[in-house]
Amino acid sequence: MSHNGRFILEPYAVEYLKQYQIPYPDHGFAHTLEEAVRIADRLGYPVVLKVVSTHIIHKSDAGGVVVGLKSADELAQSYQTIVNRVHKTMADASIEGMLVCQQAPDGLEAIVGALDDPVFGTTVMFGLGGIFAEVLKDVAFRIAPLERLDAEEMIAEIKGYPLLTGARGGPACDMDMLIDLLLAVSRLATEKPDIRELDLNPVRLFETGLMVLDVRMIEKTHGTTTSQNSPVSAHGGGPQKV
């Protein structure tokens, strides 16, 4: 996805998710190390620490995420490590604070997104995470607003679908919750027209329930010129509306 527009910091983007009952880990926004420790003590270890910066959209690429922190000492070390990494990557980057989140259990990872496509309009995307979306382009699109049948078809048409249903003896994912997530993202994208792009990646899928572990949101700005290159087309194939 492109990033023309105003980047909404994750603590504020999460507020949009709450409005649509989209699950996100218990968390707190810390402006100092002392605040981060207090939040972690309240949440209970292990926790995840993520940088919050208007200059850092892809936190992992900048070394701005540390997972599995089991104590206040580990948290303090990682806090300073993230600051050092970010400033090494982008010397003039401002750091607004750190997001401290409960560590989520392991599970299959997916990506769900929405964008204001210059060709197709408001569009929802779904695929499995990692190599499936990035390399294999194994993703499905539909034009919003979605009906339940649209969401069901999006899920079923990706090549990685057997992984969702328990291939090779693995656990099946909670399909009802996944369908509900796609419908919620569709509602958010259509009811909040100022949102240009929404990227939930990864979404961790469990046998019961799911959890959005990271959210990137871009808001439209007045005077922003829409690219003539369709992000949908760039992923391969266009959306369908049944």
Per-residue tens of pLDDT for the chain, all 242 residues:
445 689 999 999 999 999 999 999 999 999 999 999 999 999 999 999 999 999 999 899 899 999 999 999 999 999 999 999 999 988 899 999 999 999 999 999 999 999 999 999 999 999 998 777 777 789 999 999 999 999 999 999 999 999 999 987 889 999 999 999 999 999 999 999 999 999 999 999 999 999 999 999 999 986 543 333 444 434 444 554 43
* Helices first, then strands: H and E counts in the chain: 8, 11
Task: Report yes or no on 14 lying in a domain.
Answer: no
Confirm if 111 and 133 have CB atoms less than 8 A apart: yes
Residue pLDDT, tens place only, 224-236: 433 334 444 344 4
Q: Which residues form the domain of 34?
A: 26-102
Residue pLDDT, tens place only, 103-144: 999 999 999 999 999 999 999 999 998 777 777 789 999 999
Task: Specify whether 184 is located in the same domain as 164.
Answer: yes
Task: Specify whether 126 is located in the same domain as 210.
Answer: yes
Task: Specify whether 212 is located in the same domain as 95.
Answer: no
**H or E stretch at 68:** strand 65-69
Task: Report yes or no on 45 lying in a domain.
Answer: yes
Task: Report yes or no on 17 lying in a domain.
Answer: no
Structural domains counted in the chain: 2
Final residue of a domain: which of 54, 71, 102?
Answer: 102
With 0-12 / 13-18 / 19 or more C-beta atoms within 10 angstroms meaning exposed / middle / buried, residue 16 is: middle
Task: Specify whether 226 is located in the same domain as 113.
Answer: yes
Task: Specify whether 68 is located in the same domain as 43.
Answer: yes
Q: What angle do CA 171, 150, 234 make, to 5 degrees?
A: 90
Distance of alpha carbon 65 from alpha carbon 53, whole angstroms? 12
